[in-house]
Amino acid sequence: MRLDVSLVKSVLTIYDELVENGIYLVYLGEFNHEITKMFTAMAEDDMERNNENSVTIRRVYHVMVETLQNLSRHSDELAEEDDLGRGMFMIGRKDDSYYVITSNKVSLDKKTHLEKALTQINTSSREQLKEMYKKQIKEGKLSEKGGAGLGLIDMARKTTGKLEYQFIPFKDNNYLFILSVEIHTKELNEKEIK
């Protein structure tokens, strides 16, 4: 590959935007168990170096595992040789919040199902989320990928904000599904004290 100055400038511009927005880890590619372990270990180390409390570390860790498992199991963009999910993962911190952002390709059927589930989750109270979780554990059926639909409910229960999402039309009746989960450290600490 020849040195392309415009490519390097583009990468540096993206880097500056990521830093400005508090993003400190970005990955684009295949997702598997080893990659999940590596990212969670890196994020835990970073939070411990920044003297983050154990409640925040557990919540961020939990959200990371859930989102990374969703990418590896439910992406409609699969690596050809070994059926691994592909997508993008980012984590960052800005002000008093951690952000976990993922993006992957989904079919129209999955979009419809996800949109319905996310709307229900985002309009539910804490108590309703707790009941949804219990009901899903009792009645939920495993998908062909091994999921019971608990991940999104559990993320909403473990965080303090709504699950933000977008579906961007892609080619061939597919969509780019972007999910952003915010973990407010200050609110978590206040809840833990009460």
Q: Find the helix packing angle between 151-158 and 54-74, rounded to 10°.
A: 160
pLDDT tens track of the chain, all 194 residues? Answer: 777 899 999 999 999 999 999 998 899 888 878 888 898 899 889 899 989 988 889 999 999 988 888 777 666 765 455 555 788 999 999 988 999 999 998 889 889 988 998 999 999 998 999 998 888 888 765 455 545 468 889 899 888 778 999 999 988 889 999 999 999 887 655 555 34
Instruction: Report the candidate in 39, 94, 46 with the shortest Cα–Cα distance to residue 72.
Output: 39
Question: Of 3.40.1360.10, 3.30.565.10, 1.25.40.10, 3.20.20.410, which CATH number belongs to 5-193?
Answer: 3.30.565.10
Domain boundaries, the chain: 5-193
User: Are 63 and 155 within 8 A, CB to CB?
Assistant: yes
User: Are 31 and 67 within 8 A, CB to CB?
Assistant: no
Which SS3 state, helix, strand or coil, does residue 92 take?
strand
pLDDT on residue 36: 84
What is the model's pTM?
0.83
Cα–Cα distance between 31 and 113 in angstroms, integer?
Answer: 22
Strand partners, 98: 93, 183
If one counts every other C-beta atom within 10 angstroms of the C-beta of residue 89, the result is: 22
Question: Residue 167: which residues within 8 A CB-CB, separation 6 or more?
Answer: 106, 111, 114, 115, 175, 176, 177, 178
Cα–Cα distance between 163 and 177 in angstroms, integer?
Answer: 12
